[in-house]
Structure 1
Amino acid sequence: MTGRIDTPEKSVGRKVELMGDSLGDARSITSKGVADERANDVIAYMSPKMGGASFVVASVQEDGGNQTQGYSASAMYKAGGLTAGAGHTKVDGAGDTTRIVGKYDFGAGAVTALVQQDKDLSGVAGADRDVWGIGGMMKTASGAVKIQHYNAGNEGDADNTGAAMTAVGYDHKLSKRTTLYARYAQMENDDNAKYSLGGGVGDKVSAVNAGDDPSGIALGLIHKF
């Protein structure tokens, strides 16, 4: 694969996302530094599946004309209801990130988990942070109830720079191709943190002041053509 694509490390995180591209998306917490990037000028190799295992390696030759070079890789394993994976991205002068994810689908629902470590955020030596998240989903007669919680620790030696996000949601199937969804999300920032909430596709609804605790409600409709 070549062109502008998600890094393999980002794709690993999407495997355990319960509220992707909507309010409450985990990227409100996980997406910082080089994590969760969609990179330009990528050359990637995706292996065939081997007994439930697969891997992807990618080289970033250039990014936005800045001659930024880096790489990203991931490994996935799936057997029955179990999905597990790990991903790593490193970009010259911008830091690196490593994440491990797991999901177990037990038929009536699923549980998810993610741990992530970021190093040298934005190229600042020692600006490291740890991230973790858990989630759960239960199916109903006509949809699914979801909840997930993600937590980010302090960035290096900077005190009170962490945050936690909790999101709940409900998906209601109107037909095989149409789903109505509702979301509620709450971000709790430490005194010196400025994490905002995502409004879809990992974007931010608006900037917040240090220590603010934004919350939001979202309703939406998904139709697959």
Structure 2
Amino acid sequence: MKKSLIALAVLAASGAAMAQSSVTLYGIVDAGIAFEDNGTDSVTRMDTGNLNGSRWGLKGSEDLGGGLKAIFTLEAGFNPDTGAQADSTSFFNRQSFVGVSSGYGTVKFGRQMNPVYATASTWDSFGDALAGDSSHLFSYNGSRTNNMVSYNYAASGFYGELQYGLGEVAGNNDIQDEESAGRTAAMFVGYKAGPFDVVLTHQNIHNGTDTTPYDTATKMTLLGGNYDFGMVKLFAAYAVEETESGILGNKRDQNDAHIGLSAPVGKAGTVMVSYIKKTDDLKADADAEQFAIGYIHKLSKRTALYTSYAQVSNDSAASYKAGKLATPAGNDSKLFNIGVRHSF
């Protein structure tokens, strides 16, 4: 009887080893007070997702043997100040994908981060967060892409990802046609070694519903990175965006430049500063710049306090904003916030 029990235990253990699986529930709750002034109006409000977007999610994997794993992530954003979904039309609005991974890379299917957003922490000293968020002036073209197929690989310091978002327009979604309606083709490639990390991203979005001359296409290319000197980490990036339209050959060319740094303050604090310049090559008096400063203080591995300030200065024909208030052309936009983030 004893031998039979031992045999059963060994069999059960070997079966578990062959098909191990795990599911993790995780999340972030982030909220604080913000004061915003657009030069004409001002408001004090409770803001959410200042340092990190508030969310809850499920992620898991199953060991399929031979180094192959099945993976998935389902992630939903919410607003803790009201309890509402961050996106009323999409429940798992942040990420929603399934895939397989091995030593040869990872393939994923579903809603995923686009290249500029996915690599922001590499070249933005604020990491796409707080009042210094680079997306105020940099053209992210959204943060995530629906219906995406991606392939990711990393080895020997090199890393990269190829992305294709299906346009899903019936009769006009040939994967080999660069003008396939609504499709997105994107990539990023980088190299990280010691204190040095650099990345190049490119995204090409075809926005039309068909291939008529009135369709538009948006192309975004960004080169950026950081270097950690120990006491100070320096960040820099330069991006070029080109939007073309079949209507009278209209197009828009914009250039974005970022320089910033972060530095530790004691054992628990980090201070960040940044300067961003947007240049519009086609529209007169439509340039803008942003200066920002911020501070994060970690109370523990999961809880942090933060505060930040940013000011966007617009030329007479520019109307970029530091927060949520629409900014009249030529006005400055100012944002100050303070809050707490807890992860679980």
Match for residue 202 of structure 1? none
User: How far off its partner does 1:64 sit?
Assistant: 9.7
Question: Which amino acid in 2 is paired with 1:108?
Answer: M
- Distance in 2 (CA, whole Å) between partners of 1:25 and 1:9 is 13
The answer to whether residue 191 in structure 2 is matched with residue 85 in structure 1 is no
* Alpha-carbon displacement from aligned partner over 1:138-187 (angstroms, at most 9, x marks no partner): 10113011101111001x42101111011101111212221101100000
Superposition map of 1:94-133 within 5 A: 94-120=217-243, 125-133=250-258
Answering whether residue 154 of structure 2 is matched by residue 58 of structure 1, we say no
| SS in structure 2 of the partner of residue 45 of structure 1 | strand
The residue type equivalent to 1:148 in the other structure is: S
2:188, 2:332 → 1: CA distance? 34
Q: For each residue in 1:11-56, what CA deviation from the matched residue of structure 2 results, as whole angstroms up to 9, or x when unmatched? A: 2233222323322200101135x3x531110110001x22100110
When normalised by structure 1's length, the TM-score is: 0.88
List gaps (5 residues or longer) in structure 2.
1-107, 173-180, 207-215
Unaligned runs of 5+ in 1: 199-204
1:28 is aligned, of 121, 125, 136, to 136
Contact 2:288 2:318 in 1 (8 A): yes
For 2:276, which of 150, 158, 173 is the aligned residue? 150
Q: Residue 6 of structure 1 is aligned with which of 103, 113, 134?
A: 113
1:102-145, CA deviations, whole angstroms, 9 ceiling, x for partnerless residues? 10112223010000000016887331011100001110113011
What SS does the corresponding residue of 1:120 show, helix, strand or coil? strand
Q: Which residue of 1 aligns with 2:72?
A: none
> Residue 336 of structure 2 corresponds to which residue in structure 1?
217
Bigger Rg, which one: 2
Note if contact 2:245-2:251 (Cα within 8 Å) is conserved in structure 1: no
Q: Which amino acid aligns with 1:10?
A: Y
Q: Does 1:138 pair with 2:263?
A: yes
Q: Which of residues 129, 135, 145 in structure 2 aligns to 1:39? A: 145
1:90, distance to aligned residue in structure 2 (A): 0.4
Q: How far apart in 1 are the matches of 2:250 and 2:241? A: 11
2: CA distance, partners of 1:152 / 1:183: 21
Matched residues in 2 for 1:23 and 1:121: separation?
31
Q: Considering only aligned residues, what root-mean-square deviation do their CA atoms show, in Å?
A: 2.1
Q: TM-score scaled by structure 2?
A: 0.59
Q: Check whether the contact 1:9–1:73 (CA below 8 A) recurs between aligned residues.
A: no
- Aligned residue for 2:252, secondary structure, equals coil
3-state SS, counterpart of residue 59 of structure 1:
strand
Q: Is the 8 A contact 2:139 2:241 kept in 1?
A: no
Q: 1: distance between equivalents of 2:269 and 2:185?
A: 39
> 8 Å contact 1:3–1:40 — kept in the other structure?
yes
Rounded Cα–Cα distance in structure 2 between residues aligned with 1:147 and 1:40: 33
Give the AA of the match of 2:124: E
